[in-house]
Amino acid sequence: MTTFHMVHGDSLSCEAIVRQTPDGGLLMVAQCGGPVEPHPANRVYFWHSKDGGATWGEPVKLWPEDGRAVYQTEVSVIGNEIRVFLTLHDGSFLDWECRVARSVDNGYTWEDMGEPPCFTKFVFFRGMFETADHVLIQSYQRYPVTEELNRRLKAEGRKMWHCCQEIPWNENGILRSEDGGKSWQSYPAVRLSHTAGVWHWGEPTVCETEPGHLVMLLRVNGTGFLWRSDSHDGGRNWSDAVMTDIPNPNNKPKLLRLPDGRIALLNTPAGIDRNKPKRHPMGISDRHPLELWISDDGMKTWGYRRTLLAFPGGISYPDGFCTPDGRQIHFAIEFNRHDVYYGMHEVEE
């Protein structure tokens, strides 16, 4: 059984993320506001639910107002701390600064932790998880933008993602911490080239299929499928990326490891109809249906497949978590770039 509850509607809503707070409640974080994404009016808000997602509080702005666009790409719960990884920029992903907001009261108040580890600019930090040997892993995507290039693109009034020649690739990799998040080391995995004028967001999602074996899935625009890279040494070295047979219409996927070792995938497994007119330049009208796949053989096959939402439209950027007993998948989506929804799926035996 799958249930949905609407959390918020706005002129824009993007990349909603739901997590369980240390006290057992639910926290939703999403980018909202402005006519499009990215835009100088984009801001990050949070909501709380104390009744299992049935109702949600009013939106509260997470980051102090300073005139910059704000975007969140990951919400991590580490012990009694909640960390939100933020991108601050000028509305076109230039003057890009990375910050981390921290809460130690279940996500009601927030403080600026400063810059994240390893990379401080032009990086999106993605999902964090803990391996079987208690190593923290966090994925990232990085763009090679120098200060000089940033100044030139701003002077020319250009958008970052229109600059495939000046920014020829993005790097997708992981950070590792063996001391509970006090120190980190970065390990690049896959470099996606912006060839033929196709800009790549990457949006890597990573999980551990067995001790030491990590799998990364990537969004690779224009191919119609997810791509995969493997590491057999805990994320230090990675294989070349290869295209999988998992359809994907230029949308972020999400991998989750269940307590019994099975691997779950939230994805919109639809191909790309290149002859179909798009309502939106990002092709979000093709992002449906939302499905949950579960593999019990290390992502070789997917024996459990359930459609969570089949309504036509843009079901974008699913993200969530699994309960400790493995019986429920809690997730968030944004629909048609306006509405934030919370969902819960009870995993059938």
Closest CA to 167 of 195, 144, 191: 144
Give yes or no for a cis peptide into 22 (omega within 30° of 0): no
The mean pLDDT value for 72-84 works out to 97
Q: What is the pLDDT of residues 270-317, one digit of tens each?
A: 876 555 545 454 456 689 999 999 999 999 999 999 999 998 889 999
**What does the block give as tokens for 10?**
């706005």
Q: What is the pLDDT of residues 19-29, one digit of tens each?
A: 999 999 999 99
Instruction: Tell me the DSSP string of 64-123.
Output: ---SSEEEEEEEEEETTEEEEEEEEESSSS-S-EEEEEEESSSSSS-EEEESPSS--SSE
Closest CA to 205 of 124, 87, 281: 124
Q: What is the pLDDT of residues 84-103, one digit of tens each?
A: 999 999 999 999 999 999 99
The answer to whether residues 143 and 121 touch, using CB atoms and an 8 Å cutoff, is no
Dist. CA 34–CA 150, nearest whole Å: 23
Dist. CA 163–CA 181, nearest whole Å: 34
**Residues of the domain holding 151:** 2-346
- Count of domains in the chain? 1
**What does the block give as tokens for 280?**
């939106």
pLDDT value of position 282 = 47
pTM of the shown model: 0.96
pLDDT value of position 270 = 87
Residue 64 sits in a domain whose CATH number is 2.120.10.10
Angle at 319 between CA 338 and CA 203, to 5 degrees: 95
